[in-house]
Amino acid sequence: MPPVCLVVGIVISLVVIPILLVFGLLFAEFLLLLLVLPIAILLRILFVRSWPIEVWRGKTLKDQENVRGWRESSDRITDLINEIRLRHSPGESALP
């Protein structure tokens, strides 16, 4: 075997094959994501979970409510901000 073939074989073994393996794993991961993503979106739509909205003053938790959905949580946060602003005069702290 000529020495040039030996050098080419070593380069392929140490450089090209690991690069191809990395790209192969990335492609397999992408295909897995394409498989799982629609299922995850469907489950998220069907089983809407509630999450907590918390009102903190410093390190003290003042209030917590569980709300379901993006729109409902956004509306409730806006309502809480308005309630807190109405309870206090401009010179006072806005949080209870």
pLDDT the model gives residue 39:
93
Residue environment code for 57-91, b if the CB has 16+ CB neighbours within 10 A, otherwise e: eeeeeeeeeebeeeeebeeeeeeeeeebeeeeeee
Angle (CA) 10-15-18 rounded to 5° is 115
In this predicted structure, the answer to whether residue 89 has a pLDDT above a threshold of 60 is no
Number of residues that make up the chain: 96
pLDDT the model gives residue 25:
97
Distance in angstroms (rounded) separating the CA atoms of residues 46 and 6: 59
What phi and psi values does residue 88 have, to the nearest 5 degrees?
-125, 145
Q: What is the pLDDT of residues 27-74, one digit of tens each?
A: 999 999 999 999 998 888 888 778 888 888 888 888 888 998 888 989
Q: Residue range 90-94: average pLDDT?
A: 51
Quote the tokens at residue 69. 């959905």
Cβ proximity of 73 and 67 under 8 Å = yes
Residue 94 confidence class, pLDDT cut points 50, 70, 90: low
pLDDT the model gives residue 27:
97
